[in-house]
Amino acid sequence: MTVDPAIRSRRDELLDAAVEHVVEHGYADLSFRTLAAGLGVAHNSLTHHFGTRAQLIDAIARRMREQTQAALAIDDPELTPAGLLRAYWAQATASDRLSLWISFFEFYARALRDQQTHADYLGEVTAAWIRPIAARAEAAGLDVDRALSLATLVTGAVRGLLLDRLAASDPARVDAAFELLVDSLEAIALSVPATT
């Protein structure tokens, strides 16, 4: 069964508006009625396009993940792993993206509370961070297992630093900690013999 393009287009419009609403107001009091009022539409329009509240929240979270991935998409094969991390950090910490990160972490915490429901989301969002870092580390000469471990370390550290940056009254302190992380990772990479 194919979906009418007009219906898909309206759903996408509503979804983009819902993401903007959540970025501004958060998930805490999100219901069809509050969202519909915020978007200026009838709540049954949201029910028609998204089904249940859980399906709506899942659609919002997935669209937000798509937006964060698009914002962090860096297609420069010449970048070293450290260069890639610095480019990610610059894009992630741009002032116009900070509200999106707050919403990302808010949903991530919700997903951790209900991992059975959100297992796919958690797996996808983790892989989306780890894969490109591991690929760059392998290209730089680390073996597959070491590259995956390094990518996992980087992902955890960067997420933690992003959380701290969102809460920090002194962003320069967090940026300096990020630079220390990158410098440390470069030292680790230099100390590992290249694979053949």
Question: Does residue 153 belong to any structural domain of this protein?
Answer: yes
Q: In this structure, is residue 167 part of a structural domain?
A: yes
Residues 118-164 pLDDT 10s: 888 899 888 988 998 888 888 878 899 999 998 999 999 999 999 99
Say yes or no to pLDDT of 195 above 60.
Answer: no
% residues pLDDT > 90 (the chain): 39
Q: Quick check: is 62 in a domain?
A: yes
Please return the burial class of 10, using the count of CB atoms within 10 Å of its CB with bins 0-12, 13-18 and 19+.
Answer: middle
The answer on pLDDT for 41 being more than 80 is yes
Q: What is the CATH number of the domain that holds 80?
A: 1.10.357.10
Return d(Cα 35, Cα 38) in angstroms, integer.
5
pTM confidence score: 0.80
Residue 108 makes CB contacts below 8 A (sequence gap 6+) with: 122, 125
Q: How many CB atoms lie within 10 A of CB 56?
A: 21
196 is a domain residue: no
As for how many domains the chain has, the answer is 1
Q: What is the DSSP letter of 75?
A: -
Residues 19/29, Cβ–Cβ less than 8 Å: no
How much of the chain is helix, strand and coil, in % rounded to 5? 80, 0, 20
Q: What angle do CA 107, 65, 38 make, to 5 degrees?
A: 65
- Determine the structural domain holding residue 63 and report its residue range: 5-191
Which pLDDT tens digit goes with each residue over 86-113? 988 998 899 888 888 899 899 999 889 9
